[in-house]
């Protein structure tokens, strides 16, 4: 993959862990920060990872944005799904290049982008969302991240049915996942994965009961806790700030009747 910054590319201008700017490179464009402005023209033709200074002499690094960077920026504007959860959802779903995945709901497209990134180029994410205004946001985000070609956005209600068949995984981040369980059973190939993310215990109980009833097996629910470390010789310690809970992840596989 080419590693040179071109016009039209996105760049993550990184100052420190808490401050970074996701910008599109255009000629004659300046980006204004608390630490002065940066002339983006100067980045064109340079390699990703290059250092650049604001007019106030503060150094930024022009990183190539990863899916995680995009998700972080997306999530600041809408509801949040954390990298710690996305990574587990992806891994436990067993998806890989070529997989066909049903997702619901799309939201702003953060999880969608991560899924698309792993199933491309031959796979596909069929992403359901009933709120039309979210679909537009998601489409824009996916276009920017370069994942739109691997996603089919659908303005439909997943609790009323899934149109696809023989899919490899059904992945849910929605309020009533248990209502989708029978449809997921129909849509999945044998041995295919069901994965659901829910904040409350009650959602999990209803979902697991539905999974048992409809013939899923290998049902597991778990949560992950994520804690940062402050690494400084002589003063190393876990960070004080921590998110105590995001949601539970439930996984299962379709067993044939």
Among 86, 170, 181, 195, binds its own copies (CB under 8 A): 86
Asked whether position 21 contacts its own copies by CB under 8 A, the answer is no
Among 24, 97, 136, 186, binds its own copies (CB under 8 A): 97
Residues 142-171 that bind its own copies (CB under 8 A): 166, 168
Using CA atoms, how far apart are residues 211 and 61, in angstroms rounded to an integer? 47
Q: Residue 28 contacts by C-beta under 8 Å, 6 or more apart in sequence?
A: 41
Among 41, 117, 139, 157, binds its own copies (CB under 8 A): 117
Among 40, 44, 48, 74, binds its own copies (CB under 8 A): 48
Using CA atoms, how far apart are residues 247 and 100, in angstroms rounded to an integer? 25
Q: Which is nearer to its own copies, 58 or 156 (CB)?
A: 58
Residue 165 has which token pair?
A: 């068949």
Residues 55-84 that bind its own copies (CB under 8 A): 61-64, 66-68, 83-84
State the angle between helix axes of 110-119 and 132-145 in degrees (0 to 180), rounded to the nearest 10.
Answer: 50
Q: Residue 183 contacts by C-beta under 8 Å, 6 or more apart in sequence?
A: 158, 159, 160, 161, 162
Size of the site for its own copies (CB under 8 A): 84
216 close to 194: Cβ distance less than 8 angstroms: yes
- Backbone φ and ψ for 41, nearest 5 degrees, come out as -55, -40
Q: Which is nearer to its own copies, 136 or 255 (CB)?
A: 255
Residues 192-251 that bind its own copies (CB under 8 A): 192-193, 199-202, 204-205, 208-209, 217-229, 231, 233-246, 248, 250
Among 87, 130, 139, 152, binds its own copies (CB under 8 A): 87
């Amino acid at each position: 993959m080419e590693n040179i910054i071109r016009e039209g590319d996105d760049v993550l201008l990184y100052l420190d862990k808490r401050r970074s700017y996701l910008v599109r490179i255009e000629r004659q464009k300046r980006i204004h920060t608390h630490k002065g402005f940066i002339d983006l023209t100067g980045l064109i033709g340079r390699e990703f990872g290059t250092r650049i200074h604001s007019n106030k002499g503060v150094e930024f690094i022009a990183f190539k944005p990863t899916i995680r960077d995009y998700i972080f920026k997306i999530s600041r504007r809408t509801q949040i799904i954390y990298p710690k959860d996305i990574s587990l959802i992806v891994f436990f779903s067993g998806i890989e290049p070529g997989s066909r995945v049903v997702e619901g709901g799309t939201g702003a497209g953060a999880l969608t982008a991560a899924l698309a990134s792993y199933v491309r180029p031959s796979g596909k994410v069929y992403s359901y969302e009933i709120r039309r205004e979210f679909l537009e946001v998601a489409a824009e985000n996916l276009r920017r991240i370069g994942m739109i070609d691997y996603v089919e956005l659908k303005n439909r209600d997943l609790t009323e049915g899934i149109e696809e068949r023989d899919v490899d995984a059904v992945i849910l981040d929605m309020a009533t996942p248990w209502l989708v369980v029978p449809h997921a059973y129909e849509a999945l190939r044998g041995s295919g994965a069901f994965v659901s993310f829910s904040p409350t215990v009650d959602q999990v109980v209803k979902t697991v009961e539905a999974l048992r009833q409809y013939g899923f097996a290998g049902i597991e629910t778990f949560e992950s806790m994520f804690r940062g470390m402050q690494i400084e010789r002589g003063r190393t310690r876990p960070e004080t700030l921590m998110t105590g809970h995001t949601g539970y992840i439930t996984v299962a596989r379709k067993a044939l009747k």
